């Protein structure tokens, strides 16, 4: 049974968009990953089955096949982040659990050349709203290395709660690394997270507290 109502879905907020991950993205995905290898490597899980910085196309094809199969099974929502209609990064809601939990985990990366434009928090806010109000999930987690200040700023600006350290949770960049668990539930964003984020940015523009872009 297809549990993922509204997927594949294409979402947009100004120049920032989310659309389903496609096999046809292979060349731009590979070029972006190779160009951003040093930028991404400290934060990427070490997965010997999917060496994401290899030059071949096989790892991408395998990843897309796995994610789309998980999407059909109701276990993942794999999106491409776009900016001005062009490939900018990736955002995946995975490890979806149904039943009494209705929870999932979210991960994302952005082309370093586009950092500082507010793309990532906008894309994440759209994804959260889709998960809560279209798909029917109740809780989303983002687990982030303590050293990854840029990624932590994204979730903190969006109001994710810090819920503690998960010791040696993932193997990343050659070692088992601690992660900070951040989380939101649907009760935290009754009017939608994108609306909250838009208001925060407008407040900053009109003289409120500054909102640093990521």
Residue 125 contacts by C-beta under 8 Å, 6 or more apart in sequence?
13, 158, 193, 194, 196, 197
CATH code where residue 179 lies: 3.40.630.30
Query: Which stretches of the chain are assigned E, i.e. beta strand?
Result: 11-13, 16-20, 77-83, 86-97, 103-110, 139-144, 161-172, 175-185
Mean pLDDT of the chain: 88
Q: Establish if 158 belongs to a structural domain.
A: yes
Number of domains in the chain: 1
Q: Does 180 reside within a domain?
A: yes
The mean per-residue pLDDT over the stretch 60-65 comes to 86
Residue 89 lies in a domain: yes
CA–CA separation, 73 and 96 (whole Å): 10
| Position 2 confidence tier, pLDDT thresholds 50, 70, 90 | very low
Ranges 22-31, 48-57, 154-163, most confident: 154-163
pLDDT for residue 202 is more than 80: yes
Pairwise pLDDT comparison (107 vs 56), residue with the higher score: 107
- Render pLDDT for 156-180 as a digit per residue (tens, 0 to 9): 999 999 999 999 988 888 889 999 9
Distance CA 47, CA 38 (A): 17
Does residue 214 lie in a domain region? Answer: no
213 occurs within a structural domain? no
Domain that holds residue 57: 11-206
Q: From CA 156, how far away is CA 150, in angstroms rounded?
A: 10
- Burial tier of 33 (Cβ tally within 10 Å: 0-12, 13-18, 19+): buried
72-95: buried (b, 16+ CB within 10 Å) or exposed (e) per residue?
eebbbbbbbbbbeeebbbbbbbee
Whether 1 is in a domain gets the answer: no
212 falls within a domain = no
Smallest CA-to-CA distance from 4 within 62, 65, 70 is with: 70
pLDDT for 93-126, tens place per residue? Answer: 999 999 999 999 999 999 999 999 999 999 999 9
Q: Is residue 79 part of a domain?
A: yes
- Name the pTM for this structure: 0.89
């Amino acid at each position: 049974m297809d549990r993922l109502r509204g997927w594949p879905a294409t979402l947009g907020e100004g120049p920032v968009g989310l659309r389903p991950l496609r096999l046809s993205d292979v060349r731009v995905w590979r070029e972006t990953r190779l160009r951003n290898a040093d930028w991404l490597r400290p934060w990427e899980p070490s997965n010997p089955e999917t060496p994401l910085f290899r030059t071949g196309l096989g790892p991408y094809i395998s990843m897309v096949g796995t994610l789309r199969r998980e999407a059909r099974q109701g276990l993942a929502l794999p999106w491409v982040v776009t900016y001005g209609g062009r490939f900018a990064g990736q955002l995946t809601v995975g490890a979806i659990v149904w039943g009494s939990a209705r929870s999932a985990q979210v991960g994302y990366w952005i082309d370093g050349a586009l950092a500082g434009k507010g793309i990532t928090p906008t894309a994440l806010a759209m994804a959260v709203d889709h998960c809560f109000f279209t798909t029917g999930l109740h809780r989303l987690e983002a687990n982030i290395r303590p050293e990854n200040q840029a990624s932590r700023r994204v979730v903190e600006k969006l109001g994710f709660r810090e819920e503690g350290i998960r010791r040696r949770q993932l193997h990343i960049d050659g070692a088992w690394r601690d992660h900070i668990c951040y989380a939101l539930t649907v009760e935290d964003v009754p009017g939608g997270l994108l609306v909250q984020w838009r208001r925060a940015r407008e407040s900053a523009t009109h003289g409120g507290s500054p909102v640093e872009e990521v």
